[in-house]
Amino acid sequence: MRCCLMTVCLFFGVVAGQLCEPALGVPPASSKPASQQSAAVLDGAARLALVVTAAKALEAGYYSPAMGRRMATHIEENRQRGKYDRLTQGADFARQLTDDLQAVAQDKHVALVFERGGFAGQSAPHNTPALDVLAFENYGIAAAERLDGNVGYLKIDYFLEAERTSPVLAAAMTFLARTDALIIDLRDSGGGDSRAVASVVSYLVEGGPLPVNTFDIRWDSPIVRRKADKICQMATTWTTVVPERYGAAKPVFVLTSTYTFSASEEFAYALQALKRATVVGAVTRGAANPGGLEVLNADFALFVPWGRAVNPITKTNWEGIGVQPHLKVAGKRAFAVAYERALGAVARAADHPQKKEQLAEAIARRASVERKACH
């Protein structure tokens, strides 16, 4: 029986004020006003309890037991030296502990999350944003457009679980199916669900099913044990049958920025490994390890990575180094560079006089836009 990771990465962050538990995604900012966030005053006993509880969670659940122990020892030594003594505000304490943990592990997913009262009465955090909020954001599919020169443009702000995204994604990809090149914009994309990543990849390849990503998992992690029905051995995400493939031949460009994170990086990395896309933009943030939230008390939860992403082609991942673009440019310049390349590729492939003429005009119009932008 083929095993699969059923919920590898729910969006990690705040979707219009809804705190979500992820496996790959953006470390969450709070949905509450700063004045409310700073209302939690931590005394010495509270800081001690948080450090002890966080240390235990890391030792019990971090995907590398040795690194989990190192992080636990580090924050306990910091506490004993008095490093946290002046941190009486919850947000400040969470920020400092996160910095200390990431400095040791070089893992951008491990993080202490502060949400005033956000975890009260929970043994595990709520992980599903309200459906109307997700619908308002079009399930992460922010834009689908046909640009001058018959170049498609798809903007994905996060990769929501495939079941919810599939109809919207299918509509977008059907609309874009007859374009001659495609630009996929991930510059504002903060992560999401690995199954959704595989769904989008499915439109851009032929044949299959093909493995998109795999995960080495610490099976005795408490988070994994709680979700044993959704996480199985040799977890792998696969391409699937989709309504109308874009195909494997037409040029695809993926835009990245220094904000692009986690599952969004996975998408760019996977297409790069498959030699299916040209990545244009800035080096991404470099976070690859799936995990989940361990509730420490009513106000704090610790994001503990319980696994390691392993690309089936490269046998490694983008943790700590980010996705390295084929064309490194500032994020704000990535679209212009990719669009110019896309128009050039379509023009070279054009075999009809009228199409050649239309593309020449489109390239001239684009050049004019660029000249005006420089003045």
Contact indicator for 201, 239 with CB cutoff of 8 Å: yes
Tell me the backbone φ, ψ of residue 238, rounded to 5 degrees.
-125, 150
User: Using CA atoms, how far apart are residues 321 and 65, in angstroms rounded to an integer?
Assistant: 22
Residue with tokens 């944003």: 129
Question: Higher pLDDT residue, 369 or 150?
Answer: 150
Residue 62 in this model has a pLDDT that exceeds 80: yes
Question: Higher pLDDT residue, 37 or 191?
Answer: 191
Express as a percent the part of the chain with pLDDT over 90.
Answer: 71
Joined together, the tokens standing for residue 201 give: 């990849």
Contact indicator for 192, 24 with CB cutoff of 8 Å: yes
| Average confidence (pLDDT) over 339-359 | 93
Residue 323 has what pLDDT? 98
Residue 118 in this model has a pLDDT that exceeds 60: yes
Residue 164 has what pLDDT? 81
**Short-list 332, 193, 327, 176, CA closest to 259:** 332
Strands 278-281 and 327-328: parallel
pTM of structure: 0.85
Residue 232 in this model has a pLDDT that exceeds 70: no
Rounded to the nearest 10 degrees, the angle between the axes of helix 90-105 and helix 44-61 is 30
- Lowest-pLDDT range of 128-137, 340-349, 362-371: 128-137
- Is residue 142 very low, low, confident or very high in pLDDT (cuts 50, 70, 90)? very high
Residue 227 has what pLDDT? 77
Which regions of 269-314 does DSSP assign to beta strands (E)? 278-281, 291-295, 300-305, 307-310
| Average confidence (pLDDT) over 38-64 | 91
Joined together, the tokens standing for residue 151 give: 């170049």
Joined together, the tokens standing for residue 161 give: 């679980």
Residue 165 has what pLDDT? 87
pLDDT 10s digits, 293-305: 999 999 999 999 9
Cα–Cα distance list, 209 to 85, 188, 202, 238, 327 (Å) = 54, 29, 8, 6, 29
Average pLDDT score, the chain: 87
Residue 74 in this model has a pLDDT that exceeds 90: yes
Burial 200-210 (b: 16+ CB within 10 A, else e): bbbbbbeebeb
Provide the H-helix boundaries in the chain: 34-37, 44-61, 65-80, 90-105, 131-136, 162-176, 194-202, 222-226, 263-273, 331-349, 353-373
Residue 129 in this model has a pLDDT that exceeds 90: no
Residue with tokens 């009262």: 117
Cα–Cα distance list, 363 to 154, 155, 244, 256, 278 (Å) = 20, 22, 28, 23, 20
Question: Higher pLDDT residue, 65 or 234?
Answer: 65
pLDDT 10s digits, 163-197: 788 999 999 999 999 999 999 999 999 998 888 99
Residue 223 has what pLDDT? 87
Residue 121 in this model has a pLDDT that exceeds 90: no
Q: Letter for the amino acid at 263?
A: A
Sheet hosting strand 278-281, strand order edge to edge:
141-147, 151-156, 181-185, 252-256, 278-281, 327-328
pLDDT 10s digits, 20-32: 344 454 444 443 4
- Is residue 375 very low, low, confident or very high in pLDDT (cuts 50, 70, 90)? low
Give the CA dihedral 64, 217, 275, 169, nearest 10 degrees: -130
| Average confidence (pLDDT) over 68-77 | 98
pLDDT 10s digits, 78-88: 999 999 999 99
Residue 243 in this model has a pLDDT that exceeds 80: yes
Strands 211-217 and 235-238: antiparallel
Residue 33 has what pLDDT? 41
Residue 123 has what pLDDT? 65
Residue 163 has what pLDDT? 78
